[in-house]
Amino acid sequence: MSISEVVKLECCEIDLKATDKKDALHKLAELMKRSREFRNIEEEQIFAALNAREEMGSTGFSKGIAIPHCQLEGLNKFIVAIAVNKKGIHFDSIDKKKSHIFVTIIGPVDKRSEHLKLLAIVSHIFKEPGVIENMLGTTTKIGLYEEFLRNANTEDTTISRKGHDKLMILIVKDEQIMQDVTEVFIEYGIQESTIIDTQQMENLLSKVPLFMGFFNFTGEKNPFSKIIFVKISKDHINAIIKGFEDIFGDLESYSGLGVMVLDLFFSKGM
């Protein structure tokens, strides 16, 4: 089992907002729910399973680390979420100090040995020099995700830190959402993109004498249209699309933004 397959970027958070342990468990359940693997499992079920495990004994360890985990009926794959709260949350840790980094593991009920192995891998990662400080210092979700995987023990698991690159194409039809789109990219550590000004077909046709009268472009259509090209890892696609849908809702029913992802056959110099 590859740890890069079970750690989900969409389930990473650099600013976990929680006031106490129960609130943290609720927020972690909410974070887990971002994975498509939980589409048929309610958020309250995830919280209940995590909370039941905590009642058996706290998963808060020393050095500000907590590893909440549980097994869940109806789940076929392991999912790992990573969250950071820099101020710290009282999590009944063994050293009585606040927990800052939360690595949540939820797996199928019939894979006990794999579950134990994942716990051992996570525990080993935090023994690597500097990993705790580096994870607390990350400012993007991708940075947190990659810092964690960078310190995984390759003898215990196969790691593929970066998948094949893909070309994500965004068609932005509303000028007011450009800042939101940019903020999602920044949140996930994407700082390079190519933006092209374009024209919608209605704009072009409205200026052709033959079609005048059919398209009242200046009165009814928004002339704003841009295409954004971004090269990303395939492992990041679901997280970024989820980030957009957190803001705009289901993109299938939202007219201001369209997203396509294409295989990138070759790239050089970018």
Same structural domain for residues 87 and 207?
no
How confident is the prediction for the chain on average, in pLDDT?
86
Stretch 46-51: mean pLDDT: 97
- The last residue of one of the domains, among 120, 150, 180, is 150
CATH number for the domain that contains residue 71: 3.40.930.10
Q: In this predicted model, what pLDDT tens digit does every residue of 112-121 receive, in sequence order? A: 999 999 998 9
In the predicted structure, residue 37 carries a pLDDT above the cut 70 = yes
Same structural domain for residues 41 and 142?
yes
Domain membership of residue 157 (yes or no) is no
**Angstrom distance (rounded) from CA 255 to CA 265:** 29
Domain membership of residue 156 (yes or no) is no
> Which of 108-112, 208-212, 243-247 has the least mean pLDDT?
208-212
Domain limits at 114?
Answer: 3-150
Total Cβ atoms within 10 A of residue 56: 8
- The last residue of one of the domains, among 150, 180, 210, is 150
Q: Could you give the residue numbers annotated as active site?
A: 69
Of 114, 111, 16, 110, the closest CA to residue 66 belongs to 16
Q: In this predicted model, what pLDDT tens digit does every residue of 189-239 receive, in sequence order? A: 787 889 998 866 666 555 656 555 555 544 455 567 899 999 988 888 888
- How many domains, the chain? 2
Cβ–Cβ under 8 Å, residues 33 and 212? no
> Which of 53-57, 168-172, 195-199, 221-225 has the least mean pLDDT?
221-225
SS (HEC) of 70-131: EECCCCCCCEEEEEEEEEEECCCCCCCCCEEEEEEEEECCCCHHHHHHHHHHHHHHCCCCCH
Same structural domain for residues 110 and 204?
no
Same structural domain for residues 75 and 119?
yes
Same structural domain for residues 78 and 131?
yes
Q: Where are the alpha helices (DSSP H) in 15-140?
A: 21-32, 43-56, 112-125, 131-137
CATH number for the domain that contains residue 215: 3.30.70.120
